[in-house]
Structure 1
Amino acid sequence: MTQPQRLPSLRRVAVCGGTHGNEMSGVYLVRHWLRDPSELQRGTFHATPFLGNPRAIEQCTRYIGRDLNRTLTADFLNSKNTNLYEVQRAQEINQTFGPKGSSQAYDLIVDLHNTTANMGSCLIVDSEHSLLSMHICDYIQKHSRIRRCPILFYQQQPEEETYSVCSVSKAGLALELGPQPQGVARADLLAHMRSIMACALDFIELFNKGTLFPAFETEAYKVVGPVDFPRYPNGEISAVIHPNLQDKDFQPLKPGDPIFQTLSGEDILYDGDDVTYPVFINEAAYYEKKVAFIKTEKRTFSQPALQKMF
């Protein structure tokens, strides 16, 4: 029998809401937990709730100067120019929960997000090499009351520098629940997020008590790259997401399927060579990033058994 991988106990865990100030499930939950943290307490650890971008939350906007969830890179964390609020905030988060890449960093950050896309209850990790995060995802999939929680690997290249709030800690997990309009809270999605969060904390408690989590195989979706909207020569969008593609996140998109529709009613077909599984379809926040949807490939990944160090 192969020996399990071993990691230290998880004592310092944080939960972030409001990395984007208009994604309200995380904002409301973290505000509640700051008033009453009892849900975040277990026998072996207490998770620390914090608001990622307080100024953006006050204004109910995604960010003030730049996307905080793209700002936790070495260049910004080491920058002396903190005129941009999110650069200043990134450095504060890094000082409190990091430093990023150090032995002093928090063991785990869970970052709570909403999307306008029909992503359901999506679990986002950097890559298949994130052993602890993958075991948390597997536990959530098997023990949560939520019927389906797909796993998305967001990091495109192994050499790509991580830039999210989660990347400050030794391990990270982002929850991406939708569809939910920006600036709006939906009770059903908020309840789902709360349930998944409780399940993740239960896993950590069991891990800290020495539970052996067996090896497993799981399906996950790996980001291939973004697809932009069709555009006129002046840069304006010339077609919108096709009705047949709208709300079909994580469903197969085959060559020749319609993906866009012009305002004169003409269909534009997917001209890729392979089946892809689009995600973040028609995400409102991605219009500024020139992303209509993100292509992924569905694959099966194996993970070794896990147990804490004794």
Structure 2
Amino acid sequence: MEHVSFPPLSRMALCGGTHGNEMSGVYVVREMQKQKADQAGSVSITTVLSSPRAVDACRRYIDTDLNRCFTNAQLSAPLTDSAPYELRRAHELNAQLGPKGSPEAVDLLCDLHNTTANMGLCLILYSLDWVSLHICKYMQSRMAPVPVRVIQLDIPPPDAYSLESVGKHGFSIEVGPQPNGVLRADIFNTVKQAVDLTIEWLQGFNSGRTFDGGEVEAYALVKSVDYPRDPATNEITAAVHPELQDNDFKLLRPGDPTFLTFSSETVRHEGEELYPFFVNECAYYEKKIAFHLAKKITMTLPSISVKKD
């Protein structure tokens, strides 16, 4: 594959508290603000608590999920007096860090999240972005034994609904398991190491280093699976099966248990072999998602370097 070059990536935004009860991002951002860590060599760093009211309340959101408010349509629509807090905040963040899709947008936006699911460290991308994939490859080589996985959501930029889509390049870092409203030292340190390696990669890139191509495995979303429900009341009638619980990214084969009903009957997986993730994520009950299913793909990366004047 041919070589690809990009202009210097000198402006990075690091966001935490997009969901106000996901504590690693909140405290990483607060710590960096306390240390006034707004410049790292060639990289200018803007640290942002994305949803201050939700952070203060230690809730995922106040009115609606902020991380679903960044489509082009939502950002371009005029705000009304009755607009949700999060939509107003999305417009503010877009003005500060974007505008989305413009030359003024930050070069890299990294948004920090936690999940209650046993997913380890994941980078979630909404488009095929060589910069983000190279950063992931760099992390993978330096964070062992912590696995670093890529989740690929094939959503075109105008429809990408999450905060990282505001940057020219962007990804969210998702780390778990960590309960909502709880801070765990091991998870905090994993997030901080991933952030430090991202900044280190940007400094190397800006200094003229060429990063060799190669391959990165990724999990491409195929579908979401809801809990079994009572057709009359729409209430769930089963919990995630103990054999699936905490087994994110373990291949799910036809016939494998997925749910255990409250009357102790086992529901089994039907269809093709796929990989589950976000298994029994607390915040997804309201979204009617018990887990996502993905196929594993291999992406071939070109070598990459800064564009010479």
The TM-score bracket by the shorter chain reads over 0.9
Determine helix, strand or coil for the equivalent of 1:37.
coil
Structure 1 CA distance, aligned partners of 2:126 and 2:230?
Answer: 34
What is the TM-score with the length of structure 1 in the denominator? 0.95
1:132-211 → structure 2 map (5 Å cutoff):
132-155=131-154, 157-158=155-156, 161-211=159-209
**Partner residue in 2 for 1:91:** 91
> Is 2:229 aligned against 1:231?
yes
Distance of aligned partners of 1:241 and 1:249 in 2 relative to their CA distance in 1, 3 Å threshold? same
Q: Take 1:190 and 1:298, find their aligned partners in 2: how far apart are those partners?
A: 28
Question: Structure 1: how far apart are the matches of 2:225 and 2:158?
Answer: 19
Q: Deviations over 1:29-76 (max 9, x none)?
A: 1111111133x6321122111001000001000001111110011222
- CA RMSD, Structure 1 to Structure 2 (Å): 1.3
In 2, Cα distance between the equivalents of 1:252 and 1:27? 33
Paired with 1:27 and 1:303, the residues of 2 have a C-alpha distance of 32
The alignment partner of 1:150 has SS state of strand
Find the counterpart in structure 1 of residue 28 from structure 2: 29
Asked whether 1:251 is paired with 2:250, we answer: yes
Q: Read off the aligned partner of 2:253 and give its amino acid letter.
A: K
Report which stretch shifted further, 170-179 or 140-149: 140-149
C-alpha distance in 2, partners of 1:116/1:91? 28
Paired with 1:130 and 1:88, the residues of 2 have a C-alpha distance of 28
Work out the number of aligned pairs and report it.
Answer: 305
- Residue 115 of structure 1 corresponds to 115
Q: Which residue of 1 aligns with 2:58?
A: 60
- DSSP 3-state at the match of 1:47: strand
Which aligned runs of 4 or more in structure 1 are off by greater than 3 angstroms? 157-160
List gaps (5 residues or longer) in structure 2.
none
* 2:307 partner letter: M
CA distance in structure 1 between the aligned counterparts of 2:265 and 2:156, rounded to whole angstroms: 39
Residue 4 (str. 1) matches residue 11 (str. 2): no
Select 2:294's aligned residue among 293, 296, 301: 296
Q: Aligned-pair distance for 1:122?
A: 1.0
Are the equivalent residues in 1 in contact too, given 2:133–2:216 (CA < 8 A)? no
Shift of 1:216: 0.5
Question: Would you say the 8 A contact 1:227–1:293 is kept in 2?
Answer: yes
Deviates more, 1:29-38 or 1:263-272: 29-38
Give the deviation of 1:154 after TM superposition: 2.4
| 1:144 CA drift (Å) | 2.6
- Alpha-carbon offset, residue 4 of structure 1: 1.5
Q: Distance in 1 between matches of 2:135 and 2:296?
A: 19
Distance 1:113 1:142 in 2: 22
In the aligned structure 1, how far is the partner of 2:2 from the partner of 2:179? 46
| Cα distance in 2 for residues equivalent to 1:48 and 1:146 | 30
Shift of 1:165: 0.4
How far, CA to CA, are the matches of 1:189 and 1:251 in structure 2? 21
Unaligned regions of 5+ residues in structure 1, if any?
none
Give the match's secondary structure for 1:214. coil
Q: Is the 8 A contact 2:120 2:146 kept in 1?
A: no
